[in-house]
């Protein structure tokens, strides 16, 4: 992108990584995205390319074999990838969240065991909080983990695991009996090892199959059924029972920056497609871009792209500086996902009838954008987080 979504103050290394990723997206992702998405086919070659570039270890510290890059670098990489195809960014996102949680909250043994193999992409992470009966209301989780000597026995059903089939490690939130009064204090995060695949992948854990989705295809989204599944107590994240809710929320917070970045990527692509099409398509004797109604749409779309990008960069930088960023991440996610839906819709309208044809990329973006209004917390949940944070800071005296 020549003019939009530029980021001031990047290091040479960040610029180099972004240039490499952009080149990869232009050559290896965009030309194949449409066909793979329509076939709902896992992008195995693209994922192999990302492994080669070291993207699975982008934010994992160098001492564990990763590139040790910041959340900002990650967000900008995700923006580029989502510009090519959002599903590809979905492949690395849950992996990145799980690596972040292990890095921040894991024991030394857990870090040594998982992070080097996560950095190469040999171990791939999925993140599981949602259940058939709940998504926003995480503290209501029903899946139970009952202590039995040195092990826990897990029973329950999980829903909406992005990378549920292709991952080999699930960060799972389950209810344990800690005797705490507050419900979220009775939740524990587990590191569940499993082979990739579907069916009963290990005794007591079944990954039934892919959920058919309206968009966000290619990447597998699944259920997970735990039935008497046994796991060692050493697989409790941080060996800290009852602290899982906080650990997962920390993961979700960086995940929100990632969703905002994805929304920026899709909006950038929608703008690129629209601005091209508007200069080629002629009506009433001139390109439609010369009709003020269309030119103004382009102006508004570009302004939204720019605002969303800046807020996402701001939220990532705040987290990187070690400051609390729940409000900033919530604002970035809210604004970027809502603007993405609007920009995509306007690009679709600019394409006229062709926007409805499966031959045109905008048709795919139209099906992808709505997911961003829901994933990592709906817009209503973002508003709840933002307003709570504001009322905390602006408390009337
Ligand atoms: C493709 C896809 C992939 C996903 N991947 C994952 C994953 O990898 N891991 C994972 O754990 N989950 C995942 N999810 C689940 C996702 O996080 C939830 O769908 C999301 O959090 C919303 O939860 P819900 O679907 O249960 O909706 P609900 O919580 O039932 O909400 C329904 C509606 O009510 C509104 N609402 C709920 N509570 C309130 C309130 N207090 N105030 C105002 N409005 C409210 C919501 O905003 C929404 O509009 C995925 C979902 C999808 C669709």
Tens of each residue's pLDDT in the chain, 397 residues: 468 999 999 999 999 999 999 999 999 999 999 999 999 999 999 999 999 999 999 999 999 999 999 999 999 999 999 999 999 999 999 999 999 999 999 999 999 999 999 999 999 999 999 999 999 999 999 999 999 999 999 999 999 999 999 999 999 999 998 889 888 999 999 999 999 999 999 999 999 999 999 999 999 999 999 999 999 999 999 999 999 999 999 999 899 999 999 999 999 999 999 999 999 999 999 999 999 999 999 999 999 999 999 999 999 999 999 988 899 999 999 999 999 999 999 999 999 999 999 999 999 999 999 999 999 999 999 999 999 999 999 987 6
**What whole-number distance in Å separates Cα of residue 50 and Cα of residue 67?**
13
Residue-number span of the structural domain to which 39 is assigned: 12-123
Judge if the beta carbon of residue 143 lies within 6 A of ligand 1. no
Integer distance in angstroms from the first to the last C-alpha of the chain? Answer: 48
The 10 Å CB-count burial string (b at 16+, else e) for 57-75 is bbbbbeebbbbebbbbbbb
**What whole-number distance in Å separates Cα of residue 223 and Cα of residue 199?**
11
Same domain, 279 and 387: yes
Distances (CA, A) of 116 to 33, 56, 100, 189: 30, 10, 13, 21
Same domain, 55 and 150: no
For ligand 1, atom 44, the nearest C-alpha belongs to 380
- Please check whether residue 376 lies inside any domain of the structure: yes
Same domain, 78 and 161: no
**CATH number assigned to the domain comprising residue 60:** 1.10.540.10
**What whole-number distance in Å separates Cα of residue 125 and Cα of residue 135?**
19
Which residue, chain included where needed, has tokens 């791939």? 124
Residue 5 CA to ligand 1 center (angstroms) comes to: 29
- Please check whether residue 358 lies inside any domain of the structure: yes
Distances (CA, A) of 158 to 24, 133, 134, 221: 35, 9, 10, 11
Domain boundary among 215, 242, 269: 242
Please say if 376 is a catalytic residue.
yes
Residue 131 CA to ligand 1 center (angstroms) comes to: 10
Question: Hey, what are 332's tokens?
Answer: 């970035």
Judge if the beta carbon of residue 271 lies within 6 A of ligand 1. no
Same domain, 103 and 156: no
Judge if the beta carbon of residue 114 lies within 6 A of ligand 1. no
Same domain, 280 and 369: yes
Pairing of the two strands 125-128 and 151-162: unpaired
Question: Hey, what are 242's tokens?
Answer: 């009852």
Give the angle subtended at the CA of 147 by the CAs of 141 and 148, to the nearest 5°.
145
Residue 160 CA to ligand 1 center (angstroms) comes to: 10
- Please check whether residue 351 lies inside any domain of the structure: yes
Judge if the beta carbon of residue 130 lies within 6 A of ligand 1. yes
Listed in sequence order, the residues at least 6 apart from 297 whose beta carbon sits closer than 8 Å to its beta carbon are 274, 346, 349, 350
Same domain, 192 and 298: no
Same domain, 263 and 215: no
- Give me the pLDDT at residue 397, please: 67
Of 89, 127, 130, 215, the one to substitute when testing ligand 1's pocket (max ligand atoms within 8 A of C-beta) is 130
CB 378 within 8 A of CB 315: no
User: How many Å separate Cα 242 from the centre of its chain?
Assistant: 25
Same domain, 266 and 383: yes
Helix (H, G, I), strand (E, B) or coil at 357: coil
User: How many Å separate Cα 377 from the centre of its chain?
Assistant: 11
Question: How many separate domains does the chain show?
Answer: 3
Distances (CA, A) of 75 to 78, 209, 214: 5, 30, 25
Residue 158, H or E segment: strand 151-162
Catalytic residue among 178, 376, 380, 393: 376
Question: Hey, what are 135's tokens?
Answer: 């998504």
């Amino acid at each position: 992108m020549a003019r939009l979504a530029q980021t001031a103050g990047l290091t040479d290394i960040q610029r180099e990584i972004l240039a490499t990723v952009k080149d990869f997206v232009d050559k290896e992702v965009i030309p194949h995205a449409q066909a793979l998405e329509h076939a709902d086919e896992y992008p195995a070659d693209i994922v192999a390319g990302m492994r080669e570039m070291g993207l699975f270890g982008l934010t994992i510290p160098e001492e564990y074999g990763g590139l040790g890059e910041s959340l900002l670098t990650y967000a900008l990489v995700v923006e580029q990838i989502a510009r090519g195809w959002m599903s590809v960014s979905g492949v690395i996102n849950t992996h990145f969240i799980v690596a972040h949680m292990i890095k921040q909250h894991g024991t030394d043994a857990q870090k040594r065991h998982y992070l080097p193999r996560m950095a190469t992409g040999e171990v791939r992470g999925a993140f599981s909080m949602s259940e058939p009966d709940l998504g926003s209301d995480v503290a209501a989780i029903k899946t139970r983990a009952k202590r039995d000597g040195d092990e826990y026995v897990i029973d329950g059903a999980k829903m909406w695991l992005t990378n549920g089939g292709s991952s080999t490690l699930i960060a799972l939130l389950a209810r344990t009996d800690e005797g705490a009064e507050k419900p979220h204090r009775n939740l524990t995060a587990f590191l569940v090892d499993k082979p990739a695949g579907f069916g009963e992948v290990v005794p007591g854990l079944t990954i039934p199959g892919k959920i058919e989705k309206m968009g966000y295809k290619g990447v597998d989204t699944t259920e997970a059924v735990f039935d008497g599944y046994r796991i060692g107590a050493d697989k409790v994240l941080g060996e800290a029972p009852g602290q899982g809710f906080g650990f997962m929320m920390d993961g979700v917070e960086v995940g929100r920056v990632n969703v905002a970045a994805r929304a920026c990527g899709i909006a950038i692509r929608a703008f690129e497609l629209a601005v091209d099409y508007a200069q080629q398509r002629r009506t009433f004797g001139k390109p439609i871009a010369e009709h003020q109604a269309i030119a103004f749409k382009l102006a508004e779309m570009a302004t939204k792209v720019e605002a969303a990008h800046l807020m996402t960069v701001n939220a990532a930088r705040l987290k990187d500086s070690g400051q609390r960023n729940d409000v900033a991440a919530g604002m970035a996610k809210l604004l970027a996902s809502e603007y993405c839906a609007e920009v995509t819709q306007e690009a679709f309208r600019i394409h006229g009838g062709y926007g409805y044809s499966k031959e045109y990329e905008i048709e795919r973006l139209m099906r992808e954008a709505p997911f961003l209004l829901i994933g990592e917390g709906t817009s209503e949940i973002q508003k709840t987080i933002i307003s709570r944070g504001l009322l905390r800071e602006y408390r009337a005296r």
